[in-house]
Structure 1
Amino acid sequence: MKRFLLLFFIIFGLNIQAQTEKSDKLFFSDALVMHLPKYNKEAKAAYRHREFEKAENLFDTLVKTKLKGTYLDNFKFLNLRGKEVALYDFKKPVYLLTYASWCIPGKGEIPALNELAEKYQDRIDFVMLFWDKRETAKELSKQFNSHIKVLYVDENTNKHSYVVENMKHSLGLPTCYLIAGNKQIMNIKRSVFHPYNISKEESFQLNYEAINSAITDNLIGNSQNNIPVQFNGISPE
């Protein structure tokens, strides 16, 4: 009887702990509902007055104080065969880059990404998400090596899609999401912007250093040490 009671209290305690941990999670989509309207209003005003540095600072502040540390929802995408793929299907930390065919990457961005995907293939899942038709995504996928998973969402057929609303229309693109194995957002960054008159070698170096730094700072160390990210994005403003 004592053993039964002990087992009961252990199971009961674990269930309470699991429920508490679940209730403590703030998901990305919920954080956007609370904080995106204010950000959009201020960012649009900054761009309208050509205050580009202020606009960038607003983005960085939104990420640092409201989105970093939240948990990305289990969004659904399609692979190039048209099969549904869920974000939670990826078990390793994820380097997720959102793009569209009309975005022009820097000369060295894709070569740098390919090289780093090969370097970290055993530790990180690299995902390129295109907001395009399947045919377009399939053609664009030829630029990437086999270590990068290319997915797509066709907005024309998914205009009211949950993933489109939360990932594309919220922060724009190209946008990079650095996601821990437990799907906690470690950081959100924008692609490297540089003058187009620099050489491909210079562009490669700039992109390689920026992407590698983002990976080592946010995914490698945190995935090994299980360092929790602190955030203060609970209360809406």
Structure 2
Amino acid sequence: MKRILLLLFFIVFGLNLQAQTEKSDKLYFSEALNMHLSKYNSKAEAAYKYRKFEKAEKLFDTLIDTKLKSTYIDNFKFLTIKRKEIALYDFKKPVYLLTYASWCIPGKGEIPALNELAKKYQDKIDFVILFWDKRETVKELSKQFDSHINVLYVDETKNNHSYVVKNLKHSLGLPTCYLISGNKQIMDIQRSVFHPFNISKEESFKLNYESMNSSITNNLIGNPLEPESIKLSAVPPK
């Protein structure tokens, strides 16, 4: 009996030790930012100052690819339109998180493309739009989004020292897209599609749809089961 109890003790102890080791091995997004953001900012500011935009973009991509990818997103907390607090870890599926603000106008085809993709992948992915705005503004803006998209907000005027504001808004700017796996590991961080202002709504939709769909299939659900080209049914009404 003693041997059995001793064996059980070592099994439980080993499992706890393994769990603690795995937990300690995780590097979180906020920790990685704290280590590398200052150096990135100084180089990026110099690049923008001298109008070296390609270099600035390369610096951003390098920061993401070498320092922030594969880290684990923190369990940031937001508010729903109904003023209910919700944590990022409350979402159990992979998360497509896009940060916005009312004064940051998306491309004319961006929201329609996002709405189509939210309907397409509703069973596989949680789509989250995070606004840095007041509730009244966000409530009005939320009408643009499909019902399968979770529209959340953080009012910075009331949370100007907030941990989430510091890390998700003031670190990488906006709009910024975070592709987060089911275990909350960051698969990629991307900026929105930028295209000429004078293209049609249909062209803008196609560019955004293809870019978002590629990001989703490559990072959150594996290989697509259908071609990435847009079907006629996916084109939004004029």
Deviation of 1:3 (Å): 1.8
1:109-120 alignment, distance < 5 Å? 109-120=110-121
The TM-score normalised by the length of structure 2 is 0.92
**What are the ranges of 5 or more consecutive residues in structure 2 without an aligned counterpart?**
224-238
* Alignment length (residue pairs): 222
The TM-score normalised by the length of structure 1 is 0.92
Deviation of 1:8 (Å): 1.1
Over residues 106-158 of structure 1, what are the superposed CA-to-partner deviations in whole Å (9 max), with x where a residue is unaligned? Answer: 11100000000000000000000000000011111000011000000000000
**SS state of the match for residue 103, structure 1?**
coil
Deviation of 1:78 (Å): 0.3
* 1:59 partner amino acid: F
Structure of higher RCO (CA pairs closer than 8 Å, 6+ residues apart): 1
Residue 169 of structure 2 is aligned to residue 172 of structure 1: no
Question: Hey, what does 1:195 align to over in structure 2?
Answer: 196
**SS state of the match for residue 3, structure 1?**
helix
Structure 1 Cα separation of the partners of residues 72 and 178 of structure 2: 11
Question: Hey, what does 1:25 align to over in structure 2?
Answer: 26
Shift >2 Å, 4+ stretches: none
Structure 2 Cα separation of the partners of residues 217 and 55 of structure 1: 25
Question: Hey, what does 2:59 align to over in structure 1?
Answer: 58
**What are the ranges of 5 or more consecutive residues in structure 1 without an aligned counterpart?**
223-237
Question: Hey, what does 1:218 align to over in structure 2?
Answer: 219
**SS state of the match for residue 170, structure 2?**
helix
Deviation of 1:9 (Å): 1.1
Q: Percent identity?
A: 79
Deviation of 1:4 (Å): 1.4
1:156-171 alignment, distance < 5 Å? 156-171=157-172
Structure 1 Cα separation of the partners of residues 120 and 3 of structure 2: 54
Deviation of 1:2 (Å): 2.2
Structure 1 Cα separation of the partners of residues 103 and 47 of structure 2: 24
Question: Hey, what does 2:130 align to over in structure 1?
Answer: 129
Question: Hey, what does 2:228 align to over in structure 1?
Answer: none
Structure 2 Cα separation of the partners of residues 213 and 5 of structure 1: 52
